[in-house]
Structure 1
């Protein structure tokens, strides 16, 4: 962990050095912030920034750089180390646990339209085709695995031990497995690739779309509760800085909503959008 953080610190120094060397022609709304470095997982959340947020912020004079990631660990470490100014890829349950486990001072800024986790299959056309001993891949990180287990429970494919909070559930909390399913936990980014080898796969919406799947391809999509909607995270110390307020306003703008309606059908939207 220390080695990783030193590596990010080195990268931060190189990045900041490059920024100082670059010529800046526009005057940002925040005079102390000319470039906003935005991290996101590759796919819909980086595209939301690219098409819906970057144009809004650049009209105000900011330069917006998007840094794409393929996992759920590095974006928060990069944000905490100052390599990023904001990121968009996670929900509040994941953020709170990640920040607590690693003693990071990160906070939610605003919730964003979110692609639901779904069950996909290349071998079956229906969930009714499930057979005893079927293989099911699902996320291996705690919070997203719990989302998959909640759906498994709703289907009647598993039951949980008495008193277990489904939001905090894991494989260890499964009491009943009537179909004797073989659960295969994988890194979330690897789940689309598992479709050729398993009967069913739980795939997070962003990785499904990045892999060329459509949300309408899913055999079942979750109904996302508010605590599983993705969000923009920033360093807690920066919450009230002008550029952070400008980011929040960009996500609340009519321009961004128009992009979501045109490019991201099927995404679950925050309650304040209605």
Structure 2
């Protein structure tokens, strides 16, 4: 009997251990898991934390080969900024903007610096990819050039103005003309993507023509004014003395560090954004005397 009672009591004690102890352990484990998850979410919610967790150390960043100043910017970042963040930057040039954006979207390149958000929308749609404009980098000098007149005020009634033929840059040219009071755009349309057909008032009777940006320098003698990027007129051997107006570029047309939309949210993407947001890039743009950059690629304007 004693032996039987002992055996019975022993079995009861063991059964209680099997029910209570695992339950307590499971409860503690659950609480720990929840706490860890909250900490991880908080850690990942800040760009700095995400950047600290980045796994890549080498990034390929695209530039437009025809824009020599863009390569100079990447060289500066690669030599003077990136090492302080523990990464390296490899500049890569690809002439075709559609292929370049496809390469960014596919992960062949980590980012590109050659476009503003309006051109990106146009180009990404043409390429059938999803891209995201992130931090602002610089602005392209944009001007009115003429071999016939010394100022905008000297332009005669009915002067011929040559504008870029792509939607994004034509919008910039038209918006600048409106800001200078030379014409008025249809207020019902988005001015940053305006087309010649959107001109509502043309008090000077300007004849507005369009051409490829790269063709403008060689077409300058055939028109009264050509409107485009300083870099392209420099490349076409057109002296800046032929520039009759260099208005401050609107901030909305600033170059952006453009990435694949999903990549921009990753720790690696956040790290790259951090590198290109470093204030030393703006200081370089303000102080450089490099003729490929000075007056060609300028600091981001305030408005």
TM above 0.5, yes or no, is: yes
Q: 2:274 aligned with 1:249, yes or no? A: yes
Alpha carbons of 1:35 and 1:137: their partners in 2 closer, same or farther (altered >3 Å)? Answer: same
Shift in Å, 1:96? 3.0
Q: 2:47 aligned with 1:47, yes or no? A: no
TM-score, normalised to structure 2, is: 0.67
Q: 2:106 aligned with 1:81, yes or no? A: yes
1:17-36 alpha-carbon deviations (Å, 9 max, x no partner): xxxxxxxxxxxx98753532
TM-score, normalised to structure 1, is: 0.74
Q: Which is further off, 119-128 or 71-80?
A: 71-80
Shift in Å, 1:231? 0.6
Alpha carbons of 1:258 and 1:163: their partners in 2 closer, same or farther (altered >3 Å)? Answer: closer
Equivalent residue, structure 1, for 2:245: 220
Q: 2:149 aligned with 1:124, yes or no? A: yes
Shift in Å, 1:112? 0.8
Shift in Å, 1:269? 2.0
Partner of residue 233 from structure 1, selected from 252, 258, 267: 258
Find the aligned partners of 1:222 and 1:155 in 2 and give their Cα distance.
Answer: 9
Q: 2:63 aligned with 1:37, yes or no? A: no
Aligned residues: 244
Alpha carbons of 1:59 and 1:160: their partners in 2 closer, same or farther (altered >3 Å)? Answer: closer
Equivalent residue, structure 1, for 2:140: 115
Equivalent residue, structure 2, for 1:13: none
1:179-221 alpha-carbon deviations (Å, 9 max, x no partner): 4433231222333333233221111244345556677863223
Structure number, greater radius of gyration: 2
Find the aligned partners of 2:96 and 2:245 in 1 and give their Cα distance.
Answer: 24
Q: What are the equivalent positions in structure 2 for 1:10-25 lying under 5 Å apart?
A: none
Q: Is the 8 A contact 1:192 1:203 kept in 2?
A: no
Q: Which is further off, 115-124 or 138-147?
A: 115-124
Q: Is the 8 A contact 1:116 1:268 kept in 2?
A: no
Equivalent residue, structure 2, for 1:269: 300
Find the aligned partners of 2:80 and 2:135 in 1 and give their Cα distance.
Answer: 18
Q: Is the 8 A contact 2:144 2:228 kept in 1?
A: yes
User: Which ranges in structure 2 are unaligned for 5 or more consecutive residues?
Assistant: 1-51
Partner of residue 160 from structure 2, selected from 132, 135, 147: 135
* Aligned Cα root-mean-square deviation (Å): 3.1
Alpha carbons of 1:61 and 1:153: their partners in 2 closer, same or farther (altered >3 Å)? Answer: closer
Q: What are the equivalent positions in structure 2 for 1:159-170 lying under 5 Å apart?
A: 159-161=184-186, 163-170=188-195
Q: 2:175 aligned with 1:150, yes or no? A: yes
Q: Which is further off, 111-120 or 254-263?
A: 254-263
Q: 2:93 aligned with 1:68, yes or no? A: yes
Q: Is the 8 A contact 2:117 2:253 kept in 1?
A: yes
Alpha carbons of 1:167 and 1:254: their partners in 2 closer, same or farther (altered >3 Å)? Answer: closer
Q: Which is further off, 161-170 or 56-65?
A: 56-65
**Normalized per residue, which structure has more helix?**
2
